Structure 1
Amino acid sequence: MVQLVGSLRKELYDTLSTCKVLVVGAGGIGCELLKNLVLTGFKNIEVIDLDTIDVSNLNRQFLFQKKHVGKSKAQVAKESVLQFCPTVNITAYHDSIMKWVSLFVALLTARNHVNRMCLAADIPLIESGSAGYLGQVTVIKKGLTECYECQPKPTQKTFPGCTIRNTPSEPIHCIVWAKYLFNQLFGEEDADQEVSPDTADPEAAWNLEDTAARAAASEKDGDIKRVSTKDWARSTGYDAVKLFTKLFKDDIMYLLTMDKLWKTRKAPTPLVWQQLEDSASPQEPSVGSGLKDQQVLSIWGLCQLFRNSVETLRSQLQQMGEGAELVWDKDDPPAMDFVTAAANLRMHIFSMNTKSLFDVKSMAGNIIPAIATTNAVIAGLIVLEGLKILSGELESCRTANGRKAETRRNQPDDSFCFERGSARES
């Protein structure tokens, strides 16, 4: 492969050959950045990443292949780079960035800790990130620009427990509930992740007749008692139909006795397994076309997915032995199937449109789909800003932000563009 150095001044090229560069992170942007660095002429590169390669990385982190799954990102990235540029001096660390920073004149993709270390050492930092089609690159220099922490960052949204348990109104409420349910049934129980309806709601009007009705609904057939969800599930042998009946029929009937909850909201509709099975159309298991994970299952299809996932997870617990617990992982198919089925069944009960496994996975794992092209653009801009720094032209550095493009009528369209402005002054 030919290095792209023809347009660089000799002085700058010589600087690239001698300076040290630290790349923090060998993920989507990191892979693109390592490639750009060696092709531009950088000779001494250190890369650090504590993460290992996952199957979901392979569609965009092009330095990795299927055979590398489970291995160190930093080490495999180094080996892949050396295959097309064997003369570069590259060192890989499968480690935490907390141990490394102040040794380098650095190009970095990092966050708070790296920001503080670079400020303390008065080393220029190039901070970057991407989210779908959007992304940003900005240069941070002590005394010249804002630092990474100068602007508040959005925090992860949380939801009231009563909304999750009693009155979900958005798909994400049902997805959070389903993840809580997984832990209550198969993982580590958490009192803050209760999934059963509240027994005392400020909007409910309780009386003795209501209490008797709720008790009858929640203890039908003598199976359901006010014990932990996991203990009750174990007592049934993790019977999928009994679990379904408690979660999507009995608990919903219990909610319906809270009369004031439904005066301004649409009331939920309980599901009955036998009725769904009797009315199922096996010829229409899903809605829509395309990849399997992007199809929206029918209600009976969701019931079958729920049953199959419960049986698989039960088998996993049995194989692990007494007292074993599972950990929810978006990349574990049975766990993801369970959350997809449970969340969608709850969405249907509360009159929401159901979602595909792909959509549920994106929300359950707080995932913004990564776009390889965005990472490539970001990595290119990082190198351009790095060349300015090494040329002593900090005043020429620019902040680049991806944004939605606009039509001539100032209406957002479906394309995206990057705009560049001066680095924000401190």
Structure 2
Amino acid sequence: MIRLLIVLAVFIALEFYSFQLIRTLSRGHWWKWVYLAVSVLVILNVFLQFYLNPDRSQISASRDVAITITLAFFTLKLVFVLFMFGEDIYRSIEGLISTLSRKRESDQSFLPSRRAFLAKVGLAVAALPFGAILYGAWRGKYDYQVREYELTFDDLPDAFDGYKITQLSDIHVGSFDDKEEVKYAIDLANEQQSDLILFTGDLVNNEAKEMHGWESIFGSLKAKDGVYSVLGNHDYGDYVQWDTDEAKEENMQHLYKIQKDMGWRLMLDENEKITRGTDSISLVGVQNWGGGRFPKYGDLEKASQGLSKEEFKVLLSHDPTHWDLQVKDDDKKYHLTLSGHTHGMQFGIEIPGFIKLSPAWFVYKKWAGIYKEAGQFLNVNRGFGFLGYSGRAGIWPEITVITLKKG
């Protein structure tokens, strides 16, 4: 409730400033009151959705819609206000210079027309992310993209030259509302005909029962060397108020069983070899280990027990902050680490080879795509599903295909 009140205060402050701008632009016209009424209804709706249903573990379509509409209007106003705030600063500087140079006030008569022009431009610019967020909730959340990478390693075993790995992450099955779209995406993943499929955590939002009815779809994932998985921070049920510790543990065991029944090999701080003749690579699966407020269940040393530095290793670790904080400097050398978790914030702008921007940049050093340091690679998958904001705008749901090449 405290967090919600803080957010509400920010909304009110933003609304107050934006309304002053709209009132100036309307010049006495009635539509400024329509604007105010819509804004109040949007804020009141999202507040009531959380107040009436404070348990965020419960799925609510009406709450998802409220979040989407609120986010769209918030982004619209934020861009507009930032645009006009910059003009206010510039105008203040102009006024100061005018005062110091003793120019007459009449010399500044052009300012109102300039401000009105910039306000119209600001509204036009702000309409772009507003529309993108609404589109993302309508179609973007199921606009699956296959991203292909070819990574070269000098010490890759010969038999694995050309070996293909498909990575999925952050399914968040409890958020889906269209089985046909999800089935299409799973078929698309199978069509890549990879040697191995790896899932890097967050199968559910909160509870194992979210998977009921989806087992056959995700159980249809097939690869020559199988489907392997690890847990993400949402899979542990930590965001649910359980009646007893036993109930939480029962939920955990249920999630284990679901993955086993689907034919997935869940790795809990352990490793396993994939062989081709006399050559092999090692899969290492660690439980969630995240920086900041996220839980640290994983034990990298335990997960890699028995492995040497020279062995070629592929590590599954849900949270990419683990790579910077532990993995890349570990003596055992993890050639390729696969992560997810960030979702790329489900919103941003990406033009391959030119630009990659998202609010995720303010939170995570590594938030999407391939990174290389100290001769080791990290891939941060943008996620298969969605959470919170029931959509994706610019940062589309991802199926990653990585081909290992001998250098």
TM-score range, shorter chain: under 0.3
Question: TM-score, with normalisation over the residues of structure 1?
Answer: 0.25
Greater fraction of residues in strand: 2
Question: TM-score, with normalisation over the residues of structure 2?
Answer: 0.26
Larger radius of gyration: 1
